[in-house]
Structures are given as C-alpha cells and as structure tokens.
Structure 1
Amino acid sequence: MSLGDIGPLHRSLDWSPVTKVRITDNKYVYELSFAGASYNSETGSLPVFRERFSVGNPNINIEASITEEVWENIDEAALKNVQGYEYIESRLKISTAVAMERKQAFAAVSFVPLRKDPSSGSYQKLVSFSIHLRFSEQAYPQRAAAQVYKQNSVLASGNWYKVAVQFTGIHLITYDDLSSMGLSPSSIDPRNLRVYGNGGGMLPEPCSAPRLDDLMENAIFVAGENDGSFNQGDYILFYGESPDVWDWDDGTQQFTHEVNLYSNFSYYFITADLGQGKRIQSVSSTTQPYTHIVNKFTDRKFIEKDDLNIVRTGRDWFEYPPYEVQTTAEYTFTFPDIDLSSPVKMKTRVAARSSASSNFKYYINGNELVETLTVQTVSFTTDQYARTATSESEFAVSSANVLLKVNYSKPFSASIGWMDYIALNARRNLNFGSGQLAFRDPLSAGTGNVAEYNMSGALSALTLWDITDRFNIRKVNTNINGSAMTFRLPADSISEFIAFDGTSYFSASFVGKVPNQNLHSISIPDLLIVAHPAFMSEATRLANHHRDHDGLNVFLTEIDKVYNEFSSGAQD
C-alpha cells in the first residue's frame, strides 16, 4: 500500500577538481569532492551524495529515482589517481535505508554521483538532477519465534565467587582454595557446590546470532561429597576452557583457531547456596557395531603473539619484533607420538610493507622449503599501510619436534614484514603419556558412524571424560586390559575427550567475591548508561540530568555487571 512520496526535488552539485592532499611528509592521497560530500570505506576516496528526509513511520519501504540528470566529463587521468575509481559503474547505484535518531524516523538516500558513460566510455560527474522518493508499507515475512530470555540471573541470590582460568583442561579446586576465597568449607554441604561458566571464545558479533543467556551450570566432580561434609582432602574437578578456541573447518578439513581479542582469561563462578548441583554422569560403550577404529587423533597448536598493532587501529595485531633488522625467526612445535606417515597441515598469515612484492619462505629441518608466501606490493603514496597474505599448505615431518624457520626476503632496505600466526594440525598416535590428554578424531565422524577408540599407555587409574558438551560432561566407562583402553561411542559428529591420571591439574585463580546482581530483571528503560567503576560518579550525574531535565527513565550500571551476566565474566 502506498504511503505517499517526496519530490521531485531539484539538486545541484558544486564540484572541485581532483586535489593532491598531503597526509604526512612522504604520504599523499588524491581527493575528489563536491560541496557537502561524504565518504565511506566501501567506496574508497570517491565522494558520496547523501540526504535524509524526515518520515513519520519507520516501517516503510523506500523507492528512490533520479531524473533530469545533467552530466559533465571529468579528467580521466586525474580521476585514476583517486582510490576506488575502479568501482565506478555505467549507472548510478542508489542505496536507501530508514534510520532512527531521537525517536524520529528518517529516510536516507545515498549514491556516488559518478558514472562511466556506456556510449562513449568517458568518466562523468553528475552536476544536477531531481530526486523522487516513494514510500510503501513494509511487508514482514513470517519470523521465527523470538528467543525467550531468562527473567532473572542466577547471580540474583546466594554467595558467588569468581575464578579465572587460562588453559583448556581439567581444573582442581581444593579445601584450601575454597578457604582462601572466603568460604568456610567445613560448614557447607559439598553436594550443593556448583560451578557456572560459559567456556572460552568471544561472543558472536551479529546481533541475530544465537548466544547463551546468563551463566550456565557445568557438570562437575566433587570428591568426598557423599558424607555431606567437605573435609581436608576433598576437592572439585571441573573442565575449563581457554579464552582462545578451535573450530573445525569443513572446507579445509582442519581445525582453525581464534584468539580472544578482549580477554586473556575465561571465568567461572562458584556457589553453594542454590541446592544440589549438577554432577558428571556416566555413559557406557554402545553395543552397536563399529564403523571406524580410532587409534590416531588430530592435535592442533598455534603460535600467535599479539604484540603490535602496526597501524594503531583495528583488530589486527602482529608479532614483535618485525622482520626488519633480523629477517629470520624460528618457531618450535612439539607433537608427542606424532604419526610420521601423515602430513602436517599448516595455516599461516603475515603482513608486509614493501613497494615491490615480497616473500616469506618457510623451512623445516633447517633447509627444506615447504612454503613460499607472497605479499603484494604497497604504494607508499596511498593510505594503505601494509598488505596481508594467508596460505594453507602441508608437509611431511621426521620427528615429534617440528622446527619451522621463516625467512622474509626484503626486496628493498625499507621493506618490512610481520608475522601474524602459524597454526598446525598434526595426526598423533592415541597413546597416553601422563597428566592430561585431550583428543578428537574428525576422520571418523559422520552420520551413522560408530567409533571404537583404542588407546595405548593406559593405566588402571586412568579416567576418561566426554567433553563434547561442555555443560553436560560425561564419564566414559571404559575397558582397560593391561595398558590398552577401549571404548565405543556413536560418532555422528566430532566428539571431544580428555583422559587424565590425577597427577596433574590446572589451577583456577581467585578473582573476587561477586555481589548479587540481576540485570535480567530490569524493565526496558528510555536510556541505558554503562560505565566503568572509575567513572560511576560522573555517570550518575549524567543519569540524574536526563531524569530531571528530559524526564527519561534511566538505568545506570557498571560494565563488569554486564560482563558477568552476558559474557561469563570476561571483557567482550
């Protein structure tokens, strides 16, 4: 249904010629502009015409048309100095959107007023035109049911104690650990001990992506809880995850890592005030016939040192020192019980700043070239400081110690390179050494598959957990015959396991006691202010100003409370 229109409205553009603009002593950019022009990253240095119109209804479709166009030729040689000129098309590409500002809806129209004349092939600028907007009611497709959020946070009541972990694996909390946190272990019923936390990794960036709501309870093991008293020698075991995570890439058939950009720790929360907690349950081997025998697994390791942001903005960080004075660096990876018959897969990313293309060369065993990664040239007169390059390759190894030597071939003395990361996937024989061993086998995973796992080096004291679902960990009942452990489970998807002998655990560092909070329970305010604790006094003044002068319903909270309820206590 039509909701009316605006226009036609006549507009003229007052153009300036292409101008060379000095950014630094030795850096220039070329700028093309007209009065009132704006710019964005999608169009490079090409100017954008942008105008917005007040509308009453935000739920509309916008159809924009340009008529009465008057074009003039533009100096092609000068235009080709402008970054992004190659994006100029033969016709205008008009973008429309509805934006909200101070509860007022606006219809926004934008386009680059340049074209390549389809008849003559000449580049032209638009000097005058008329714009016409038509509005219609927006038809909404049937949407999936909205996520139902919890009415209250688990942090709303009880005593809570926050701990930090840095590594992925099984963590130990002892009687003395609880005592040092401020609990009185002897006065609590250990059956009520609970551990909450959402694991490692960063929150998804798209708002529409699914995410965990509030803190999730983890299944844990509490030694000595059956007598109802937590005594010296009793302890808690829980599976904790590093802030850095791995994901399986179906396309490349390897695991890829993601470093947490915001936090060096993952966080977990302990309480004993909410009744009996979740415990690890047991699972026995399936009686189904196996489709795959697993006696090898894929291990993965990476080196990524986020020491330097070379342009002092954005999220790309690189290793320091760069490949400049020293142009060679060595990186060592160790994979015990490596399968020498399987290639090691490598993924690596680098950056370079050079006026000619330059190469990173990767050597194994000192002199065996396994990869040459080329980084394209950078013009020192543009605003692009450096270029990046990524490659994936594989190579054979001759021992468990993988020594990679990386050499940057500098075309000129001013060329400089940076290492972002090196990540390796290697096949290992399924042999238990000591401490903890996490393993998984993507090669046996598939719909309807059943895997029989055969682990060597096992002892009678060995315990195995299925950690595929980190909130509902299961203890696997295995068969140990001599030093061989076997178990059989469905393998429809990649399963994660961890075996341990009780000789080595990770520790959790006490962060502090967490006061009760309940952001989940608040009504939606007119204005939400989130502030760092150091700025709360000034934030309170701002909140009171909006309450007193604007009549707004303002909710003010500290950023750490948002982290606790919505990102498992980690900065994100």
Structure 2
Amino acid sequence: MKLNFFSLILFTPILLLSQQHWNVKDNVKWEIPIGTNGDLIQHPKSSIPFEGAVRSNLDPQKFLYRKEFPVNGPGSITATLLSFDEETYNLSTLFKDIRYSSEYQLKSGISKERSTYTAWIELTPIRMNPSGQFHRILNVEFDLNFIPNFAPPQLPPFTKNSVLESGQIFKISVSRKGIYKIDKNYLEKNLKINVANIDPRNIHIYGNGGQKLPESNDQYREDDLVENAIYVAGESDQIFNDQDYILFYATGPDIQTYDAGLNDYSYIKNPYSQKSYFYIKINDKPGKRISEKPEQFNPSFTTNQSLETIHHQKELTNIIAGDQCNHGTGQQWFGEELSNSRELDFGTEFSFPELDPTKAAKVSCVFATRATQGTQLIININDSKIVKNLSPISSYQCTYKFAENNSIKSDIKLNSSATKVNIKFPISSSDSEGWLDWFQITSWKNLIWNGVPMYVLNPEASSYQTTAYTINNANTSLTTWDITQPLNISSVKNNTINNTLTFVDESFQKNNQYIVFNAATSNAQPDFNGPVENQNLHMLDNLDFVIIYHASLKDEALRLLKHREQFSSLVGVAVDIDQVYNEFSSGTKDPTSVRDFARMLYSRNTRFKYLTLFGSASYDYRYLNTKNKDLNLVPTYETPESLDPIYGFPSDDYFGLLDNGEGENLNGKLDIAVGRIISRTIDEARIMVDKIIRYDTDPLTLGDWRLNNLFTADDEDGNTHFYDMDRIAIFNQEKNKNINQQKVYLDAYEQVSTPGGERYPEVTKAINDAIFQGNFVYAYMGHGGPTGLAQERVLQEPDIKVWDNIYKMPLMITATCTFTSFDDPSITSAGNLTLLNKGGVIGLFSTVRPVYADANYILTRDVFDQLYNIENGKHLTMGEILKRAKNKNGSSENTRKFMLFGDPSQTLAYPKLENEILSINDKPLSQSPDTLRALQTVKIKGRVIQPGGNIVSDFNGILNATIFDKEITLKTRRNDPGSNVSSFNIQKNIIFKGSTEVKDGIWEFSFIIPKDINYSFGAGKISLYASNLKDLDAAGYTDHFIVGGFKSDTLLNDQPPVVNLFMNNDQFANGGITDENPKIFAKISDDLGINITGNSIGHDLTAIIDQNSQSPIILNNYFKSKLNDFKSGEVTYPLKNLASGKHTLTVTAWDISNKMGSANIEFNVLNKDAVSIDRIYNYPNPFSKHTQFQFETNWTGIPLEINIYIQTITGKLVKTITKRITPDGYRITNLDWDGKDDFGSDLANGVYVYQIKINGELDGEIIKKQSKIEKLLILK
C-alpha cells in the first residue's frame, strides 16, 4: 500500500490546528473465490475472502475493507473514493439474501482508545449493478481529509462526593407512578426513628426517577442522586406531629411520555427493574420543597379536556429462551401467548369513563409472530375491526431470526366509554405462534373529578401562550402539581368556584403535564427497603483496577483484591454492586450504572485499566422466570435485540466503552480491559480465587508446561477450521520459537461410527492427555456449543469435570459458537465448567452466542499476535491482550461476542529469564551446526541469563530439557465429504526428556540418542525450561543443529529395561483398589536409557489395559528422566472412567538399543460413590513401642478425616488417633502409634481391637465409611 501523508498548518488567533491529508492507493487481495464465503459457523464455506477483511457491524453477512490511520486528536474525517478497478463475478445464487448497493459504499469516522485517536474508513468492496450483476473491487484510490476539533462537547464532570456520604439514609421504592405519602407511623415503624428528635424541615428525598439510563456516553444523565422537591405538611413548627406527613411524586420504573410527532404517548418498559428507588436522608440541613409557580392571568386558551392513555403490557416470557437451540437474550420480554388459545379478551381493562367520543382514539400494538407463512392479527374494539397482515420469518433454522415483531397503529372512534377489546390470531398453519408485546389505546377525556388522582395533558395547549384548565365536579381540597419535570415538581394555584376548578399556566411549546389530587385522602405509601450505610464511590481516584462484586461473594472478592495488591503491586478497590446502583442508577439494577462508574474513574485518571465483574449474570434481569435461580449477581449488558440470535447477545465490552460518542450499539474501542469471574456461589468463587492465587504463587506451578501450546481444529466445511487453525499455529511459532506445539486436528484422526453418531475417541483422549500434561494456551476453532466442542463431541462436560491439572492450567481460547452461555441461568455451560473445576483453565477467551468462522479466525490471530508482546519489560495481561485484539477489529458484533472469563489483570505464567545454550559436545553453538546421530552420546552445556544477556549467577534449581527429532509432515484423512486431504507440519517426536541441576546459573546434561530416530538429516529442536523451584523460571531453545544418521560405535547392553508398576504412587500393592480415574505410575530404568522417540513401529513406551493390545496407550511423552540421570525415570498417566471391577495393566518399555522390558499388575476399580476401606493391617504386629496402621481406599484427591478407634476386648475406648490428609494414592500408610492411651500412659500387654472410620465430602455431600474390626497385640 502506498501512503502519502502531509500536514497543513493553519494559524488562528486562538489555536494551532493541524489538518491532515492522505492519498491512499491499495489493492484488495482476494484470497479465495468470492462466491464461497459468508455463512455462519454452523455452516461456513470458507475463511476471510480478502486480506484485512472485517465483518460489517450492521449486516454481519457482509465483509468490509477497513483501514485505520492515526490522527492528532478529536475531529472529523472526510473520505472520497477517487478511482478503482473492478471485475465482475456471478454471485446471484450464493448471495441471494444479501443486498448490495449499485455503488461501492464508503464510510469513515474517528475512534478513540484512551488518549489515542484513529481515523478509519470502511469500504463495501462488492456492488450489484441494476441488472443484478456483481462486481468486486480490485485496486482503489482514496482521498482522506481530517479536520481537528480540539473542543468537543463534554458532559459535566462527575461530582467528588456522593449525597450518601453522610446522614441517616433509608431506601424506599415504588412500582408505579403517582403521589406517595409518608406519615409519622411510617417513619417510626419502618425507619425505627424517634420523630421527636428530628426537625421535619431537614428531611430530604433523593432519587433520579428510576428509569433506564441512556446507553450513549454523550447523552445527559444525572450524576449521583438528585434531591427531589417534596411537600411536608406541618413542618413549620419544627416538630413532626401525628397529623403531619410527607408527599412526593414518583414516575415509577417505566417511561411514559407524550410524543408530539406521533400525537400519542410512548411507553418504554424498564428492562432492568420493576421498581424505582428513592432515598430518605435526615441531617441538619433544610431539604428541598415544592415551590409554587407564579400565578398566570388572562389565558389565551381554555380547555376542559386531556389526552388519556391505557397501556397493557405483561412481561411473561423471553420467547427465544424457549427455543432448544438458542438462549434467552435481549431487553424485550413478551406477554400473553396466542399460539394455542388464539384469542385474548381484555375484559373491562380499557375503560374510559369521561370519554369524548367525537375525537379519534389511537390504537397501537406490537405483536410477535413465528411462522414461515403470512398470518393475520385481528383487533376488535367495540364495533370496529383492525386487520393486520403479519410478516413471516424466513426459516426455522437455529441461527435465523426466531420471530418477527409487528407494529400496528390505527385511528378509530370509540363509541362507548366501556370499551371492549378482543385480539384474535387465526390459525394459518399448524406451527404458527404469536405473542403480544403490548397494547395501548389513547383517547380524549373530559376533565371531571371522580375522586382519584387525575393526570392532565393537552397537546393543543402548546400552541398558546397560556392555558386555563377547568375541571368539573371539583372541590376546594384539591391540589395541582406540575410534574413535567418529575425531579423538580412545582405547584400551580387553583381557583375553585361552583365546583369548577381552574388553574392557569404557561403552555407555549411545552406540553406540560399535571396531576390533580386530594392531599387529605389516603395516598399510597412506598415500600421500605431498609437503611443504607454511608458510602462515597464518587471520591475514588488514582486506581489501577476495580472489582465489582455481589454481597454474597464479598469475602472472596476481597481476597482477590488483596492478592492483586500484594502480588501485582496494583492499586485497586472492591465495591459492592449495590453501592454502584445507589450512586449511579438511583438504586435500580441498571448495567449502565457499572459503565458510568467506570467512566468516572477513567475520566479522572487513565491509570484505570482493569474492571473485574465478580459474579454471575443473567439475561433475566428482573427474575421474571422463577423456574430458574436468580443468578443476576453482577449484571452484563444485553443488546436490545431479543428475537434474532445473531444480533441478540450479552457483552461485557459495554463496560469498557468509556469515551464520548461510545456506548450505544456497542460502538467504539475498548478503553479498559473487562473480565468476569462467573461464580454463582461463594464456593465457586473460592475455587476461582484459589486457582488465581495458586497460579501466581505456588512453586508447584513451575514447569515446562509453560512452553506448550495446544491447537485443535474441527473437520469438514472445506477444511476451513483446519486451515485457519494451522495458519495461527504457524504464526504463533514464528512469534515465539520457545513454544512447543501439539496439533490435534480432528480430520487427522480416525473417525468412529457409534449409535449416537460419528465420534473421534482418539481426539478426546489427545485433548485430555494434553490438558493433564499441561499447556500454556489451548486454542480451538470450529463448531461447538454450551455442552462442548464439535459435532462429534470431542470435549464434553464429563471430560472437563475430571481434568486433573491444578498446577498446569492454560488460557483457553474457543473460537466456536456459544461455548460459554454464562447468562443463561437454566444451564451450566461447558465454558463455565472449565472455570469452576479446581483445575480447568486460568482464563477463558470464549464466545457467548453464534459467531462467524472467518471473524473468529481474525480475532484469534490478533490474540496470538498480542500474546507474547512485551512493553516496558512486562508481558501484557490477559485483559490487555484481548482488548487490543478486539480494538484491531473495530466494533463488529462478532468481536463483541468474545468475552474474557477470568481476572483481566492476570498476567500469564511467562518465564521471566532465558536459557542460553553455550555448546553441544563442546562445540560452541555459534559455529556451524553440529550433527547428532543415533546411538551417539550428547553433552549440552548452557546457562540461565537475563533477557539482556547477563548470567543470573544466583540461580539454583532444575533444568528440564526436551530434545525433538525433525519436523514431520502429516495428512488429514477426509473422513467426511466436507473435508479435504491436506498436509501440515509438526515437530512432536521426542528423542530425550530429562532434567539436571542448575548451579549458580550454569547447567550441563548428557544423554544417548536412541537407535529409532529418523535417519534422514534435518533440523531438530532443543527445548529448555529451568526453575529455581520458588518463583523464577527461564525458557530457551535452539534449532541450530542437525539430527540424522547413525553412529557406528557398538553400545554394550545385554539387559532390558526394568519396569516397576503401580497405581497413583509407589505405595500401591498389586491387586489393590482404585477409583474410576486412577493414574498409571511406573518407575523405569536401563543402563543406556529409555527409547521414547515414537519413530519405529512397535518400539513405543506403552500401557495396555485388560490385554487389549489393539488399543495401546502411548506413553512416550509422559516419561521424565530422573534428575541428573538420563538412564531412569518415571511415567504418570491418567486413566478416565474405568468400569468397576478387576482390571489388568501391562507397561512395556524399550531401551535406546531396542531391548524390551515390561511389568504387569492387577487392580480393582470401585466407584467413588461406593466408598471402600480394604486391606487393613498394622505393622509390626505384635509390637512393643511402635506400629503403623495401613489401609486402602478408593477415595483419592479428596480431603479426608481419618479416625482410628482402639478398644480393649471388653469394648472400652482407650485411644483415638485422628489425622486429616488429602491422599494422592490408594494406600494410606503414615498412621503411626506409640502404644500409649489418650492420656499418654503405656497400655498393658494384651489383645486390642481397632476400627478405622473416614469422613469426606463428595459433590457437596458428607460421606462416612467405617472398616471392619481388626486385632492387634501389644507385647513388651
């Protein structure tokens, strides 16, 4: 791309403005035939069609050409398409549902990320001419002009202190609009205050109305809590007497306003709350009171009429939640379903007692339909009928729009105040379904007082300077308030003569609304919610991170806070979500309050970088579906769309869009990194915080797993996922050659037909084995869902639940559909499970709804592009990695569906130091590559160094070395018609794996190259990992050597390998019991070394279960040499889900000269649900001063309390031995006894009996088990 840039400096008396201009010439590099792109991941056909393509945010089926350019600051950008070359292409059949303009569409704009401004252009590189022929652009030339604006409009700054910081504060709530009354009894009964001790003049009521907050950052909203004007009867004597009371007006949680353009009321349901909240504050300062408006005379218009509306809206169901292949979503819930009854009668709900029948009424309705054929809605109102043809949906497929919203509007004459309304949804097809969203009638009424509060609004008055409103049948006890500004109510003076009340007010272009009521009659009382402790989030500043938690998870949130402050040296605060609601959304559970809180911190100091949402979320904000649990602990943001599974989704990105112009439609670039700990209970939260602290601080997490990455790709779809994943793997290898890769591509494995469908059992095994061995990152691309990965179910919930990798947890990246539907309270997704497992993953970059394969590739590639970057000597945190990758992709909806589940301030376990190889066989590495041959003894020397190159002379610990044979080429199998035979390269065959000591930063090790290498010549790889066994580690590699050929010297070796075989640990005895998930544990030695190359058929290190030689378990990669000894080592391998009963195990090993040794054992599998205590004895027996109790149990890896009760033969208890352990094997041996009783006295000689009891917890249930009674003999 050719980019010409120049600056034009303009001088003004006030500012120095810098205008920027670009002329851009570029060619669009189409990578594939354009007719093959465009479908969802459920049925994709290929990857991105051209280099740099992004998905359109407004129409995800379209690709856009996007370019970005840095600019000096805020301003405007103008883009002009000067010239282009194009070619025609026939897309008519493949793109029949996509609409393209006849001209190439060009858009431009300015985005901001923290303090950096970027100009962008987006071009739709396809057009369709009037005859239906498609064209695609090849070469293009743009002209771009940027004009700066250094003074963009700003909202007022946030206040530094909240009104909640001091005083007595009590929270109250209302569910609908109206006048509310608080009397002495209410104060004493609910607030528990002695009213004799307060001055009623110092009573305040605060609240912001309680409606949904605006989503755009540019739109004004109240900051903190606003004091409302209220009326306090009898306050002038400074005593709250029995007859005194408070009156205030509340709008309720929903927004009902007059829309002059429609000449009708609009009604917006609050999707987050069914109540509005207010705060009573009592202090020593006078409160705000309702003032009287200046009296008006000589009205220019007189009216005795008002516009009245009745709105019917029940929120009963989130209809897409009922679809088995989708999840509840969005902000719109629906009411009555007409799929079965087909008819709805409103009874007397729509009654207009003072109706003016001469004026037309307005009928409006929204109704959703799900049918592939056209349907009708018939509305009968008295004698009138409204018929509306309803739009069908295009398909019943999962990713298509679930239902279609239909809006109905009509003007009719109501001939009776008792209006009868009936809705019918006739059957058009057997599968048609329908739901009413809302129904409304707006009519004119005559102003006649009937004893209940009366709302008055007459749009006709806005054409006149002043208006007189007259109400008949009135009395002198009525009060009129102007409620046009609900937070600043004012009273209007009434004049009542001959039962006619008149009030006059200014009205020109105002559309004022009033309420007329009798203050003396009983008005509704607000609900009491309780006292509020003083708080002041508005004072916070200079923070690096914030944790927002639900009160039920407080202890664990505070523990995470302490850890980040101590371990990461970050400055942060943990905040209760209710405190955020109190100060930023007037108490309602509005997710925008979280965003506004973050925006306040960001606006004060861009040091603020991380927001952790500590708790689960739910699309059911108001807990309308009581069949599920209420799991909306810390809310997410749901897009408004509620019927389309592509456009309706949750996204925590909303909370990171903090600049002006951002927020609405999830538009903009992320300014902070946002992550979520999706714990639903305190136990789940504890598991996650334990994992984080263990990952950061436990020396047992140090290991060469930190150099492993696992890549898995789905099959079919024209090898889309295979190609994309392998491109990313190659890119990752180029970015960091320290990394060792394992590629588990489905189509490279045997596919097995089962009654349940096609399966890849070896893929499942390979994934689970890799997780057990440990990986730094695990990435998957392809099909998937909330129950697991791939149509062949290669990874499912049962697999995840038994992952045993608590010290080797990866960052997991799942570029698939809906793997983590965290906001659905009816399920626990596979993504959730990876986090809730005590092992599992440390963080999850995952999707929450259906996504596009090509966009997944782009984002995943950009994640790996950021993964190993270092800035200012530090690696990026998980949150920063994903934030930057997302920001490279604009505001596409696909990107917004990827979320970080984990702590955004978490830095991954990158080795901080380097291993440098100095020589191979005493030949400096800087010289020409050495050649290593089969049966040759190799000596390698090196050191641990700082990234700058200086030796770390105080580094003492262990070096783990892995020597790889040459890279090999494998092929996929074309197991399905939708797959192709393709090749890929991988370096996986291991020549040697061992460890040696590091002393003062220096290390050295030797080994013999096995006979079974590939004798052809090519570059091998030495992978090195060192740790000081405390808190410091180092990584290194070299491929500057050749592997191949054969060393002719004869090695003297007549002895085969020696194999000692156990289960879990070396305490196991042959024939012992295990649970259903035991580990093979073998100790193997040989005078030359063990062959683990995997190059020669039949010479692998293998395990065979139950003599099934057709399905051997390859253990090559699980063998680890002993420290400083390449001739012996150990194997640990996890078995999963073994059937109950007796089994046999055979392990066979070969040495490097191809001599074989083996061992056999038997073991008895007992399910953990059937707790067993077996093979009980004490040794020695008889004894005099010491014996040790031993027994076997199938409970391992579970904290146990063990009690041994020792009694005389008459039954007298003389000694209780208690021990708490978490066994790693099945034989418990370390239970010692000195022969003394509970008081420390020696027991007499003789026979005693003993019984062992164990207690443990399994899946939240306490389980107990006791053994049979055994005997022992004390003989001194």
Pick the TM interval, shorter chain.
0.7 to 0.9
Whether the 8 Å CA contact 1:373–1:390 is kept in 2: the answer is: no
**Which of 466, 471, 474 is equivalent to 2:490?**
474
1:342 equivalent in alignment to 2:394: no
- Aligned pairs for 1:74-223 within 5 A: 74-81=89-96, 83-84=97-98, 86-91=99-104, 93=106, 95=108, 97-98=110-111, 100=113, 110-116=122-128, 122-125=133-136, 138-140=147-149, 142-144=151-153, 146-179=155-188, 180-223=190-233
| Runs (5+) with no aligned partner, structure 2 | 1-5, 8-19, 321-327, 591-1276
Amino acid at match of 1:340: P
Counterpart of 2:1077 in structure 1 is none
Counterpart of 1:523 in structure 2 is 541
Whether the 8 Å CA contact 2:473–2:499 is kept in 1: the answer is: yes
Distance (whole Å) between structure 2 residues aligned to residue 272 and residue 64 of structure 1: 58
Amino acid at match of 2:345: E
Name the CA shift for 1:32/1:403 in 2 (closer, same or farther; >3 Å).
farther
1:513 equivalent in alignment to 2:513: no
Using the TM superposition, give the Cα deviation of residue 527 of structure 1 relative to its aligned residue in structure 2, in angstroms.
Answer: 3.4
Counterpart of 2:239 in structure 1 is 229
Counterpart of 2:334 in structure 1 is 318
- Aligned pairs for 1:496-511 within 5 A: 496-501=513-518, 502-511=520-529
Using the TM superposition, give the Cα deviation of residue 302 of structure 1 relative to its aligned residue in structure 2, in angstroms.
Answer: 0.4
Counterpart of 1:570 in structure 2 is 588
User: TM-score when scaled to structure 1?
Assistant: 0.86
Counterpart of 1:371 in structure 2 is 386
Amino acid at match of 1:80: F
Whether the 8 Å CA contact 1:204–1:211 is kept in 2: the answer is: yes
CA deviations over 1:185-205 (Å, ceiling 9, x no partner): 221111211111122422122
Could you say what secondary structure the match of 2:187 adopts? helix
Between 1:369-378 and 1:530-539, the stretch displaced more is 530-539
Cα RMSD, aligned residues only: 3.4
Whether the 8 Å CA contact 1:451–1:489 is kept in 2: the answer is: yes
CA deviations over 1:285-336 (Å, ceiling 9, x no partner): 422x12211211111120111222222222222113x221111112231222
Between 1:418-427 and 1:310-319, the stretch displaced more is 310-319
Could you say what secondary structure the match of 1:443 adopts? helix
Whether the 8 Å CA contact 2:71–2:119 is kept in 1: the answer is: no
Whether the 8 Å CA contact 1:67–1:129 is kept in 2: the answer is: no
1:464 equivalent in alignment to 2:480: yes
Could you say what secondary structure the match of 1:42 adopts? coil
Amino acid at match of 1:489: D
Counterpart of 2:59 in structure 1 is 43
Between 1:9-18 and 1:277-286, the stretch displaced more is 9-18
Using the TM superposition, give the Cα deviation of residue 535 of structure 1 relative to its aligned residue in structure 2, in angstroms.
Answer: 3.8
> Which has the larger Rg?
2
Could you say what secondary structure the match of 2:463 adopts? coil
1:333 equivalent in alignment to 2:350: yes
Amino acid at match of 1:557: V
Could you say what secondary structure the match of 2:420 adopts? strand
Amino acid at match of 1:503: T
Whether the 8 Å CA contact 1:196–1:216 is kept in 2: the answer is: yes
Distance (whole Å) between structure 2 residues aligned to residue 116 and residue 351 of structure 1: 33
- Aligned pairs for 1:390-409 within 5 A: 390-409=407-426
Using the TM superposition, give the Cα deviation of residue 489 of structure 1 relative to its aligned residue in structure 2, in angstroms.
Answer: 2.1
Counterpart of 1:431 in structure 2 is 448
Counterpart of 1:286 in structure 2 is 296
Whether the 8 Å CA contact 2:104–2:125 is kept in 1: the answer is: no
Counterpart of 2:1121 in structure 1 is none
Name the CA shift for 1:485/1:116 in 2 (closer, same or farther; >3 Å).
closer
Using the TM superposition, give the Cα deviation of residue 94 of structure 1 relative to its aligned residue in structure 2, in angstroms.
Answer: 5.6
Whether the 8 Å CA contact 2:201–2:287 is kept in 1: the answer is: yes
1:488 equivalent in alignment to 2:509: no
Counterpart of 1:299 in structure 2 is 308
1:415 equivalent in alignment to 2:423: no
CA deviations over 1:32-67 (Å, ceiling 9, x no partner): 8537754244234123445667x5966587788999
Name the CA shift for 1:60/1:296 in 2 (closer, same or farther; >3 Å).
closer
Q: Which has the higher strand share?
A: 1
Name the CA shift for 1:472/1:313 in 2 (closer, same or farther; >3 Å).
closer
Larger relative contact order (CA 8 Å, sep ≥ 6): 1
Name the CA shift for 1:195/1:60 in 2 (closer, same or farther; >3 Å).
closer
Distance (whole Å) between structure 1 residues aligned to residue 469 and residue 364 of structure 2: 28
Between 1:141-150 and 1:433-442, the stretch displaced more is 141-150
Distance (whole Å) between structure 1 residues aligned to residue 317 and residue 584 of structure 2: 29
Distance (whole Å) between structure 2 residues aligned to residue 436 and residue 405 of structure 1: 28
Could you say what secondary structure the match of 2:92 adopts? helix
Distance (whole Å) between structure 2 residues aligned to residue 13 and residue 413 of structure 1: 46
Amino acid at match of 1:412: S
Distance (whole Å) between structure 2 residues aligned to residue 279 and residue 315 of structure 1: 36
Q: How many residues align?
A: 557
Amino acid at match of 1:87: Y
Whether the 8 Å CA contact 1:32–1:46 is kept in 2: the answer is: no
Distance (whole Å) between structure 1 residues aligned to residue 426 and residue 288 of structure 2: 56
Using the TM superposition, give the Cα deviation of residue 78 of structure 1 relative to its aligned residue in structure 2, in angstroms.
Answer: 2.6
Amino acid at match of 1:469: Q
Whether the 8 Å CA contact 2:453–2:515 is kept in 1: the answer is: yes
Counterpart of 2:468 in structure 1 is 452
Using the TM superposition, give the Cα deviation of residue 269 of structure 1 relative to its aligned residue in structure 2, in angstroms.
Answer: 0.7
Distance (whole Å) between structure 2 residues aligned to residue 284 and residue 35 of structure 1: 68
User: TM-score when scaled to structure 2?
Assistant: 0.41
Percent sequence identity is 27
Distance (whole Å) between structure 1 residues aligned to residue 47 and residue 396 of structure 2: 16
Could you say what secondary structure the match of 1:43 adopts? coil
Could you say what secondary structure the match of 1:76 adopts? coil
Using the TM superposition, give the Cα deviation of residue 114 of structure 1 relative to its aligned residue in structure 2, in angstroms.
Answer: 2.5
Counterpart of 2:887 in structure 1 is none
Name the CA shift for 1:138/1:530 in 2 (closer, same or farther; >3 Å).
farther
Name the CA shift for 1:133/1:560 in 2 (closer, same or farther; >3 Å).
farther
Amino acid at match of 2:134: Y
Using the TM superposition, give the Cα deviation of residue 430 of structure 1 relative to its aligned residue in structure 2, in angstroms.
Answer: 0.6
Could you say what secondary structure the match of 2:386 adopts? strand
Distance (whole Å) between structure 2 residues aligned to residue 95 and residue 114 of structure 1: 17
Distance (whole Å) between structure 1 residues aligned to residue 450 and residue 59 of structure 2: 56
1:270 equivalent in alignment to 2:280: yes
Amino acid at match of 2:126: L
Counterpart of 1:359 in structure 2 is 376
Using the TM superposition, give the Cα deviation of residue 267 of structure 1 relative to its aligned residue in structure 2, in angstroms.
Answer: 1.0
Distance (whole Å) between structure 1 residues aligned to residue 157 and residue 107 of structure 2: 38
Using the TM superposition, give the Cα deviation of residue 91 of structure 1 relative to its aligned residue in structure 2, in angstroms.
Answer: 2.7
Name the CA shift for 1:107/1:478 in 2 (closer, same or farther; >3 Å).
closer
Could you say what secondary structure the match of 1:401 adopts? coil
